[in-house]
């Protein structure tokens, strides 16, 4: 369901917790929870959590007018502000 960042072999505790949080939220939104994969990609000094879901679940994760994706990004922004981590979210099919 989740993977280590492409730049390192091990996750930090903060990365692991954010990964669990994003995975938990997304898995509980979709119809195909076994198809959810969350990876961390390091880009421009930030950890980008890349969420891959089944094609039929893409709309559920993005939400009407992007509301669900925006809510996930707000959640990551709150974590980022509290932990001084730079975080991003990318949703892919």
Please write the tens of the pLDDT for every residue from 19-28.
Answer: 999 999 999 9
What residue segments make up the domains of the chain, in order of their start? 15-92
Q: What stretch of H or E contains 69?
A: helix 67-83
What pTM was estimated for this model as a whole? 0.83
52 pLDDT above the threshold of 80: yes
What is the Cα–Cα distance from 21 to 39, expressed in whole angstroms?
13
In CATH terms, the fold of domain 15-92 is: GMP Synthetase; Chain A, domain 3 (3.30.300)
pLDDT: which is higher, 71 or 5: 71
């Amino acid at each position: 369901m989740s993977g280590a960042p492409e730049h390192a072999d091990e996750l930090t505790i903060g990365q692991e917790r954010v990964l669990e949080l994003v995975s938990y939220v997304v898995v509980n939104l979709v119809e195909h929870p076994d198809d959810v994969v969350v990876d961390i990609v390091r880009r421009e000094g930030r950890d980008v959590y890349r969420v891959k879901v089944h094609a039929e679940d893409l709309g559920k994760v993005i939400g009407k007018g992007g509301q669900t994706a925006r809510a996930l990004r707000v959640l990551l922004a709150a974590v980022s502000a509290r932990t001084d981590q730079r975080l991003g979210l990318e949703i892919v099919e």
